Amino acid sequence: MKYLSDMKKGDCATIIGFEADRCNDVEFARDLEDRLLEIGFEEGLDVKVLHEGPISRDPVAVRIGQMTVALRRMEANAVKVTGSQ
């Protein structure tokens, strides 16, 4: 299984689901899937990694459709993807 957090700058993939329980912080994970959906992460959408931060590759900037979103690596770790290149 691949996750958005595994992707490198320039990689493209398709979102296939979410696994909020992969987040180490139980309180944070509770509403994570809802928050991701609210900002535009939906199954079937293509995602491309545009930038990774200099420290621990955090945060990560991704493009979904016409929108650019920055996520913490912890959030990206909950997004399941397929077809990463």
Per-residue tokens: 85: 């290149």
User: Which pTM was predicted?
Assistant: 0.87
All structural domains of the chain, each given as residue ranges with its CATH number in brackets, are: 2-82 (2.30.30.90)
User: What is the rounded distance in angstroms from the CA atom of residue 81 to the CA atom of residue 63?
Assistant: 14
Write out the two tokens for 38: 């609210």
Tell me the pLDDT tens digit for each residue of 3-50. 999 999 999 999 999 998 877 666 677 788 888 989 999 999 999 999
Q: How many CA atoms lie within 13 A of 59 on its CB side?
A: 8
Given a cut of 80, whether residue 75 has pLDDT beyond it is yes
The mean per-residue pLDDT over the stretch 72-81 comes to: 92
